[in-house]
Every structure is written in structure tokens, then in C-alpha cells.
Chain A
Amino acid sequence: MKVKSNIAVSDNGFVFNPGSGESFTVNPVGLEMLNLLRKGMETNEIAAAISGQFEVESLQAERDLLEFSEMLRQYRLLESEDE
């Protein structure tokens, strides 16, 4: 699971896909997940980081991450998807 390299993400959580012209907003948790995914971190590493930062169980963080990743896939923000 790799976020497309050309996706622009602002500090405010504004996400822009220059390939499609679509834009999105993410909340602080989503922003953190997105940034960690962009760094190439693994699912368990991201879940641990989110768990520590946002006071949530690691298992819950992992579930949220999977759900979030599915949204990224649907919105064609992941590398494997056809543009």
C-alpha cells in the first residue's frame, strides 16, 4: 500500500491529487496516518504510532487505518490504482 508520490498534503489536512484535480480534507488522525503512509511505514508501525499519539488502543488504530486505507483506494490516491 503506497500513497501516490504526486499527492500534495498540507499541514492543515488539505489533500490534492494533481492527476485528477480532486481535493479532500482529512482530520488530524487521518493527516497523521497519511503522512506515515507516505513515509512508507508498515501498518503495525503506523497503528502503534497513532495509538501512542491519540490515546487509542493499538487494535482500534489498526482497524481505523485499514478503513482509512480503503477510502484512499476508493478515491484513487494509492499507487496501485489506475488513474
Chain B
Amino acid sequence: MNKPTLTIAVTGLNAIDSPGPGVAVIRGLREANAFDCRIIGLSYESLEPGIYMHDLVDKTYQIPYPSVGTDVLLARLQHIHEQESLDVIIPNFDAELFSFIKLEAVLLTMGIHTFLPVLEQFEERHKVNLNSFGKKYDLFVPESKSIYVANEAGLLENDYGWPMVVKGKYYDASLAYNMDQVKAAFNKISAKWGLPIIIQKFIHGTEYNVTGLGDGQGNTIAAVPMRKQYITDKGKAWGGISIDDQEALELTKRFVRSTKWRGAFELELMKDKSGKYFLLEINPRMPAWIYLSVGVGQNIPEALVKLAMGWPVAAFESYIVGKMFVRYAWDMIVDLSEFEKISTTGEL
């Protein structure tokens, strides 16, 4: 059977100690059964490793940071589309999703498909709104409060106790055991990601993650739970294992059903000593460990592209339990001319 060839643009090509999902997403796309693909990398910086992985990425274009606005981004995407005839774009960063959601309809008129959460879903699952999200959809979430001044955390001491979790609105989180540590984390994280900072009650327990895909009609197309086995000092999984946790899967299906979630997601869950699950965070995109889903039989990147293209997609019904991923860092040797080209022309 002749498979169609799709041109798919992917962001998140960075692979530092807090890696982007792009490279893992592309590996899934390369292994798709339903289509072949030409991969266009979309990068923000010249040293994102995916740019130089020519066996995975056919061509890379730099795109403007979300802070410059959607008009500039659209103009750049139009230029790229003229060169490459894009079929699908898969944005992989929280911070850029708002722009792509805003542009979704315009992109579709250009013939570029996406499969993203709708704006309401994107906004209401935001960390600053997680309390009301939990109430609305009957999900346990740890108490949290958005603050604009570090001293406000002191008012939460009686209710939350120590330690408290200090979180950035997009990324970064650290544990604080006293007010000095709250202030240090507040300053560090707000300098990078802005305000507000979210103070969350710390839940003692074991952390689990579920990545999945909702079809926007309330159906769970894919869901793979994972337990982190090796965690970096940034809290990132450097090794993990697929597990058979029916409760986590039930919670995931309830989340998708009640929100009619559209697109890929990652749920960060904490199971306390009594076995109760708390929803810590909802990431509205695929996680950096998404290739584990491919390894256990649920190629979520492929299924997402099929949904974006409007092709029929059957829900995955099983996955392999006890498969691990072990991440590693790998030094590539890169010619200066390549770095020069992406730095000066914005293309490679």
C-alpha cells in the first residue's frame, strides 16, 4: 500500500536538562504506519540539538518568540509554508500554544492542520486556575494560590505547612522549607517566567504521570501511565517505566470525558499514602518522554497527526506494561558552517 507523505512541522527541538518533546515526537512520526513524513523543525535558538539531527529533521526554520505576537509568527509561518507546503504543525511548548491556538483557523485556511486544545480548555487548566478546575470536574487537586509578592506565601503557612511548592506559571518548580527559600525561588522563577507565582500545598507521596490523547468529543484515544524511576534535580524524568494502574487510567478517562479534551496532554499525579490521587498539573501537550508511548504500542504522535488530518482513528486499547525508557545525553559533532547558517539565515 502506498502511504501518503505528509510535511509536518515540529517545535521543541531543544534537549537540555529540561528537554523539549520535539525530538521524541519526531521519532514517533518517523515510525508511523499510516504515513511517511518530511519533518520541518521550527526552532527558537541556534543551539537546539534537533536542528542538527539530519536523520530526523529534514529542514529547520527559526521562528519568532511568542512574546513578539501572533502577526509576526503568522508572517514567518506563511513564508515557511510557501517553501515547504506544510500539512501539519505540532507545537510542543506550553508558552507558544496560545499563539498557535489563536492562529488555528487561519492556518487551516492555508491548508495547515493542527490538533490543539480549544482556548477555554487551555486557559482553565492553567496552573493559576487549577483549584477551580478541580472543583468543576470533580478532581482532587492540591490547594494552591497565585501570589504577586513573595511575602504573601507567609499567610499560607498555617494552611499549607512546610514545605510549600513554588511554581512558575509555565515551567519550573521548587520546594521551599522556609520563607527565605520561598523568596529565593520566587525571585528566580519570576525573573524567568514572570508573575504570578503559584504556591501549592505539598502532597507527600509517589509521583506518576500519564500521557494521552483526547479526540475533543470526550473519547480517550490513548493513555499511558508512567512512574518516574530516575529524576533530575529539575524534577525531570531521566528514566521511567510503564505501569498498569487502573485508577490512574480511570482518572485520565474521566478528565478527557468531562473536559472533552482535544489534543495531547500529560497529567502529573501524586498518590498519597492512603492511595488517593491528586492532580498536580495538566500539561496541554506531549511530554518529553512521549517516545515511551510509541515503545509500548501507542504511537501518540502518529494518532495526533491522523486526528489533525481528519482521518479516522481507533482508540488504543492496550499497551505493554513494564517497558522502560532510559534517557541519555549524546554529543554531536557539528560543522561551524551549519551553526553559521542557522544563526545568520534562520534556516538549515
Assess the B241–A21 pair: CB atoms within 8 A: yes
Task: Tell me, yes or no, whether B126 is within 8 Å of chain A by CB.
Answer: no
Residue from the list B229, B247, B274 in contact with A21, Cβ < 8 A: B229
Task: Tell me, yes or no, whether A8 is within 8 Å of chain B by CB.
Answer: yes
B247 (CB) vs chain A CBs: closest residue: A83
Q: How many CB-defined contacts (below 8 Å) exist between A and B?
A: 28
Contacts of A21 in B (CB 8 A): 208, 226-227, 229, 240-243
Q: Smallest CB–CB gap between A62 and chain B, Å?
A: 30
Query: Which residues of chain B from 257 to 277 have a CB within 8 Å of any chain A CB?
Result: 274-275
Assess the A19–B244 pair: CB atoms within 8 A: yes
What CA separation (Å) do A20 and B226 show in the bound complex? Answer: 9
Residue from the list B206, B240, B274 in contact with A20, Cβ < 8 A: B206
What CA separation (Å) do A58 and B135 show in the bound complex? Answer: 57
Q: Smallest CB–CB gap between A72 and chain B, Å?
A: 17
Contacts of B208 in A (CB 8 A): 21
Contact count band on A: 10 to 19
Task: Tell me, yes or no, whether B72 is within 8 Å of chain A by CB.
Answer: no
B226 (CB) vs chain A CBs: closest residue: A21
Residue from the list A16, A19, A22, A82 in contact with B274, Cβ < 8 A: A82
Contacts of A19 in B (CB 8 A): 243-245
Interface residues on chain B, number (Cβ under 8 Å): 16
B242 (CB) vs chain A CBs: closest residue: A21
Task: Tell me, yes or no, whether B111 is within 8 Å of chain A by CB.
Answer: no
Residue from the list B227, B241, B275 in contact with A83, Cβ < 8 A: B275
Task: Tell me, yes or no, whether B321 is within 8 Å of chain A by CB.
Answer: yes
Assess the B322–A16 pair: CB atoms within 8 A: yes
Contacts of B247 in A (CB 8 A): 83
A21 (CB) vs chain B CBs: closest residue: B227
What CA separation (Å) do A8 and B322 show in the bound complex? Answer: 10
Contact with B along A10-37 (1 / 0, CB 8 A): 0000001011111000000000000000
Query: Which residues of chain B from 198 to 245 have a CB within 8 Å of any chain A CB?
Result: 206, 208, 226-227, 229, 240-245
Contacts of B322 in A (CB 8 A): 8, 16, 18
| Beyond A19-B244, A21-B243, 9 extra complex contacts between A and B, CB < 8 Å | A6-B244, A18-B321, A18-B322, A19-B243, A20-B227, A21-B226, A21-B242, A82-B274, A83-B275
16 examples of A-B residue contacts, CB within 8 angstroms:
A6-B244, A8-B322, A18-B243, A18-B322, A19-B244, A19-B245, A20-B206, A20-B227, A21-B226, A21-B227, A21-B240, A21-B241, A21-B243, A22-B227, A82-B274, A83-B247
Binding site for A on B (CB under 8 A): 206, 208, 226-227, 229, 240-245, 247, 274-275, 321-322
Binding site for B on A (CB under 8 A): 6, 8, 16, 18-22, 82-83
Give the 5 A-B CB pairs with smallest separation, nearest first: A21-B227, A82-B275, A21-B243, A18-B244, A21-B241
